Amino acid sequence: MSDVDVVVVGAGPAGLTAARELARDRRVLVLDREAEAGGIPRHSDHLGYGVRDLRRITTGPAYARTLVEAALSAGAEVRTEATVTGWAGERSLEVTSPLGRTVVTADAVVLATGARERPRSARLVPGDRPAGVLTTGQLQNLVHLQHRPPGTHAVVVGAELVSWSAVLTLREAGCETVLMTTEHDKGESYAAFRAPARAVLRTPVATSTRVVRVIGHDRVEGVEVEDGTGSRRVVDCDTVVFTGGWIPDHELVRLAGIELDPATLGPRVDSALRTSAPGVFGAGNLLHPVDTADVAALDGRFVAASVRRWLDTREALPGGVRITADAPFRWVAPSLLSPGAPAPPRGRLLLWADEHRRPPRVAAYQDGREIGSVRVPWPLSPGRVFRLPWSLVTTASPRGGDVTIRLR
């Protein structure tokens, strides 16, 4: 048995930043199932990390080391190879590690378990099960941590930011990306990044195209792709990388009986990042799968104030009005508007869209009445988070029905 003020589950950007903030005056324990703390950035060896939280650009491994060192310097204890397998009570966690089994009891729990990419099986792509089929996370682990080559010729499924990260990793490993595919009519990443990336990396991108079959028995030999007209062709390759298609690592949420958001599949939280379980909070890509590492870190910084408020007052989530979103939006986070709660991190509502749209006007409705609208200067695009000001929903009545966000 061990007893602490706060236990943080997950040693990625959100969890480590929350631990750093809280450890200055509380006893904080961070648990992570990996052998090394730092989360996904530690095996994403390219620039692009730290812009919003550190105010400088660094590589993934350097960013991860910075966050780990900051948490340790603040006084947090970080235990790796420590897998949380279940709950032993309201805020008690069952933990298994090489040292054995233990129960950790805390006054507050921060869940920062992140998100993962859907593998080929979850995407229902038929074929045998040959070697050479990976997700981006598996690819980067293979190349940067195990120092093993993935192959010589690859097809990357997806065209969002993480997809280009996979292309960079493949190039560093000496593997040529012969094709990138997306089911959308154009790539999902930012245009300012997409054009230079294609020019520098010289990667052909097939739009309105999907992979319908993986070919090969012992090793990948190719993939069959189908375009928007229904025409099919075979692309020779020995590696296939499935990117994006994010889903939260929500097993602990489900085991605790915490209310799930049916759209994000993470825990439903209010703008203070409180879950339906008293003293249990969420942060990072568990709540909005998936945003950049620095945005997840800012969630961790923000949630520390909510945790302190709980430790001082034991004020539980008072309920509130649910926030939903109509198509082409898939989800919105946070999805609960609670009385008296502060604005969410960075004062933003986060949404995910399934279609490209020109810069739109977006409105919020409650009980058939428009309660706010805003025109934004940026377009909707699949594969990246769409941000709206929190003020769009703040005039909602706490006694009214659900708030719905939709395009006007």
The string of pLDDT tens digits covering residues 16-41 is: 999 999 999 999 999 999 999 999 99
Beta strands in 112-197 (DSSP E): 115-117, 133-135, 153-157, 176-181
Cα→Cα distances 275→304, 338, 376, Å: 14, 11, 30
Query: In this model, does residue 192 exceed pLDDT 60?
Result: no
Q: Give the amino acid at 187.
A: G
* CA-derived radius of gyration, the chain: 22
Q: What's the CA angle centered on 278, arms 277 and 280, to 5 degrees?
A: 70
Residues 349 and 381: beta-carbon distance below 8 Å:
no
Residues 6+ apart with CB under 8 A from 244: 117, 158, 160, 162, 163, 188, 290, 383
Predicted TM-score (pTM) of the model is 0.94
Closest by CA to 37, choosing from 148, 119, 114, is 114
The string of pLDDT tens digits covering residues 239-256 is: 999 999 999 999 999 999
Q: What's the CA angle centered on 100, arms 99 and 104, to 5 degrees?
A: 100
Residues 6+ apart with CB under 8 A from 35: 80, 81
Mean pLDDT across the stretch 343-353?
97
Percentage of the chain lying above the pLDDT 90 cut: 89
The string of pLDDT tens digits covering residues 398-407 is: 999 999 999 9
Whether the bond into 328 is cis, omega within 30 of 0: yes
Closest by CA to 291, choosing from 59, 51, 45, is 51
Average pLDDT, the chain: 94
DSSP code of residue 261: P
Closest by CA to 385, choosing from 318, 330, 323, 317, is 330
